[in-house]
Structure 1
Amino acid sequence: MNSKKTFAQIVTLWKTDKKMYVKKSSFSAYVLLLENHLLPVFGECTDEIEEAAVQRFVFQKLEQGLSQKSIKDVLIVMKMVLKFGAKHKLLTYTPFDIQYPTVRENPSIEVLSRTHQKKIMGYIQEHFTFRNLGVYICLSSGIRIGEICALTWEDVDTDNGTIHIRKTIQRIYMIEDGNRRTELLLDTPKTKNSIREIPMSRELLRMLKPFKKIVNPAFFVLTNDAKPTEPRTYRSYYKILMKQLEIPELKFHGLRHSFATRCIESNCDYKTVSVLLGHSNISTTLNLYVHPNMEQKKKAIDQMFRALK
């Protein structure tokens, strides 16, 4: 080893290196996980961080109410730092195998009923505002809240009936020299699969065509202005709209789930749904949305026995 350094000192070196290779939003997320979870516990460690210590850390975080997914995200960052330290001979790193309690609940996604979805879309058609339009677009395309906030009129191609998703907006935390601040970031989506083209429904195309002729192509769709709406502001607006329409509480992301569920219910092939959603692989789509109901299970059994005969 060159010399013993604390985990915190290695983190400082790692950040300088990592910042050159990843997107600003990813780097911000890594730093936040380090500051909030890892440095308070492991910052002063100078020897190898043993598996038992990491396992204790995991159980502590579970007791504090952190989800398994969030804890796994924290450990991914930890491993990146430890591998960096080992590569530069600043510490010894032995890969660890962490155990998690069995989760017995079957996680279910929340979606709008068909009745509520029709009610929302019907209301927006009769009460047009640009902010209402955003909800309609999300229900018609499955795009994320950051993507609808970043959508400009030049992304809307009414000649070919498509919407181009190539930007996203998010508010990120910046931690510099111990000072925290937030910054609104307009950037390309995280993965190449998220850059995609989505066909518009006839109703949506009919709604957008008249506007497309008169709007400034550089303006954002939600504001019809040069300044965008940020996700947390739009999320608040959405909640008020749903309350006004007496729709049961549903997270904004539920609009995306509702779009995907309607596609699956309509027997769309899974690969196409996956591409429309911008998922990195089809397994994400299958795990989230493809859960055969009892009728489909019975049909499968009947088909199998008919084949046997």
Structure 2
Amino acid sequence: MSVRKRESKKAKNGYVWEVYFKYKENAKVMRFSKSGFSTKKEAEEYEIKVKSEMQKNISNYKVNKITFNDACDMFLEIAINEYQEGTIYNTKKYFPILKNEFGNVKVNEIDYLMLQKFFNARSEFGIETNKNIRKSLNRVFKFCIRSGYMTTNPCEYISVCGIENHRTTYTNDYEEHVIEQDEFNFIINKLNEENCFINKSYIIAIMIGYYLGLRISEALALTKDDIDLHNKSININKKLIYKGLRKEDFYASHKLKSKKSKAVLPIPEILIPIFQKWISYNPYNLFVCDDEGNYLHPETLNKKVKKITKQYGTKFHFHMLRHTLATNLLRNNIDLKTIQELMRHSNINTTISIYTHYHDEQKRKSLNSIFSTPSFQQNNILQGVEKVSNLN
């Protein structure tokens, strides 16, 4: 929101709130400002009202013509190259819900109240689904603003609620879970029990995730040309596109998550002899593939390893391997800048957030280790609690 605090000698508390934002009128950039609001909430409510009126009063011919259905279709046709394939897939996935609700409504008539009522009615759906629907709306509206069909984005004011489902909890679990060496060895040994090409390929994929931190789409898109054993380096320059596609339609795209995702990383010494043997054994150009040289399906790989880790008493998702590498780097006191480069984080804040989580966990373990010593017996604590309760 375009609300800011400004000093004011006339105000009792020394400041007032101001509404200030830019907008377009007939392709010309204009500025709106109004000051004197005593509270931030008062200023925000006024901003919503002003922007809503501006949206409704626009006289541009283009705005008066386009419906939400048209906007979605144009977005897929024109804006498709601005986003990752996965983002387009996730955006398009929610179009049926949105078109059913807003399809024939002109985009300039969709305002905060209409959207908030829609999301309020979805309060018994999963919160992650509702958040993703808002993201889809946000992308379409941003496209409409750039194209001159809207002047403001009503999504920026929307609050989303919903039910915390099992998948949300599970996602948080695998993003934070660290696969320790014993568990990693257990996975590799179990896969080795069945001596077949596909299991060996799974092992290579797991090792790439564990020792190099590649995302599953990056690991499964690697070719032998990307592996330089002479210089002990790996070139990450593409990813597997698979969501919403049949296995025979999978393909590699050079459009990665961010500019930082493309990189040449050093291969740890432990992997050099393993990769040498694998390249000799694997007759196909794809570095990780099925027994016919085709792309592996990420979900098949995940399901296979999940069955194994269930025996170990834990859960699994390939992303855990990436988080594990970051944690192992922190445990060995590698500096944040080096971790950022190895993990290919586009923003150092992502690295810092992992660092913060790791050290919070260390503090918790340190505290618990103190009170688990013999001098702090649980029975003594319980007796102390009983004595306190008897005072009442």
> Normalising by structure 2, what TM-score?
0.62
Does structure 2 conserve the Cα–Cα contact (< 8 Å) formed by 1:220 and 1:227? no
**Aligned residue among 225, 228, 232 for 2:299:** 232
| Matching residue of 2:133 | 74
Q: What is the Cα deviation at residue 59 of structure 1? A: 3.6
Residues 29-77 of structure 1, C-alpha deviations (whole Å, 9 max, x = no match): 3222323x4222222322521212222333444530132xx54443343
| Matching residue of 2:229 | 158
Change over 3 Å in CA distance of 1:222–1:263 after alignment to 2: farther
Alignment of 1:143-222 (within 5 A): 143-173=214-244, 183-188=249-254, 189-212=256-279, 216=283, 218-222=285-289
Change over 3 Å in CA distance of 1:232–1:93 after alignment to 2: same
- The count of corresponding residues between Structure 1 and Structure 2 is 290
**Alpha-carbon distance between aligned partners in 2 of 1:252 and 1:202, rounded to the nearest angstrom:** 22
Indicate the percent of aligned positions where both proteins have the same amino acid: 24
Change over 3 Å in CA distance of 1:117–1:13 after alignment to 2: closer
Give yes or no for the alignment of 1:49 onto 2:116. Answer: no
Give yes or no for the alignment of 1:252 onto 2:252. Answer: no
| Matching residue of 2:80 | 19
Change over 3 Å in CA distance of 1:90–1:152 after alignment to 2: closer
Does structure 1 conserve the Cα–Cα contact (< 8 Å) formed by 2:288 and 2:296? no
Alignment of 1:93-108 (within 5 A): 93=152, 95=154, 96-100=156-160
Q: What is the Cα deviation at residue 213 of structure 1? A: 5.4
| Matching residue of 1:304 | none
Single out whichever of 126-135 and 8-17 deviates more from structure 2: 126-135
**Alpha-carbon distance between aligned partners in 1 of 2:230 and 2:291, rounded to the nearest angstrom:** 20
Q: What is the Cα deviation at residue 94 of structure 1? A: 5.2
Single out whichever of 73-82 and 249-258 deviates more from structure 2: 73-82
**Alpha-carbon distance between aligned partners in 2 of 1:49 and 1:115, rounded to the nearest angstrom:** 55
Q: What is the Cα deviation at residue 144 of structure 1? A: 1.1
Q: What is the Cα deviation at residue 172 of structure 1? A: 2.8
Residues 124-180 of structure 1, C-alpha deviations (whole Å, 9 max, x = no match): 789882321221221111111111211222212111112221121131337xxxxx9
**Alpha-carbon distance between aligned partners in 1 of 2:83 and 2:100, rounded to the nearest angstrom:** 24
Give the secondary-structure state (helix, strand or coil) at the position aligned to 2:286: coil
Give yes or no for the alignment of 1:10 onto 2:93. Answer: no
**Alpha-carbon distance between aligned partners in 2 of 1:237 and 1:204, rounded to the nearest angstrom:** 22
Name the aligned partner's letter for residue 41 of structure 1. E
> Normalising by structure 1, what TM-score?
0.77
Q: What is the Cα deviation at residue 222 of structure 1? A: 3.9
| Matching residue of 1:307 | none
**Aligned residue among 264, 284, 297 for 2:330:** 264
**Alpha-carbon distance between aligned partners in 1 of 2:248 and 2:185, rounded to the nearest angstrom:** 37
Change over 3 Å in CA distance of 1:76–1:211 after alignment to 2: closer
Structure 1: any 5+ residue segments left out of the alignment?
A: 175-179, 300-309
**Alpha-carbon distance between aligned partners in 1 of 2:365 and 2:286, rounded to the nearest angstrom:** 52
Change over 3 Å in CA distance of 1:182–1:44 after alignment to 2: farther
Does structure 2 conserve the Cα–Cα contact (< 8 Å) formed by 1:25 and 1:172? yes
Does structure 2 conserve the Cα–Cα contact (< 8 Å) formed by 1:161 and 1:200? yes
| Matching residue of 1:85 | 144
**Alpha-carbon distance between aligned partners in 2 of 1:110 and 1:6, rounded to the nearest angstrom:** 45
**Alpha-carbon distance between aligned partners in 2 of 1:294 and 1:167, rounded to the nearest angstrom:** 34
Q: Which has the higher contact order (CA 8 A, sep 6+)?
A: 1
Does structure 2 conserve the Cα–Cα contact (< 8 Å) formed by 1:143 and 1:256? yes
**Alpha-carbon distance between aligned partners in 2 of 1:268 and 1:187, rounded to the nearest angstrom:** 32
Give yes or no for the alignment of 1:275 onto 2:346. Answer: no
Give yes or no for the alignment of 1:58 onto 2:119. Answer: yes
Name the aligned partner's letter for residue 150 of structure 1. A
Change over 3 Å in CA distance of 1:278–1:101 after alignment to 2: same
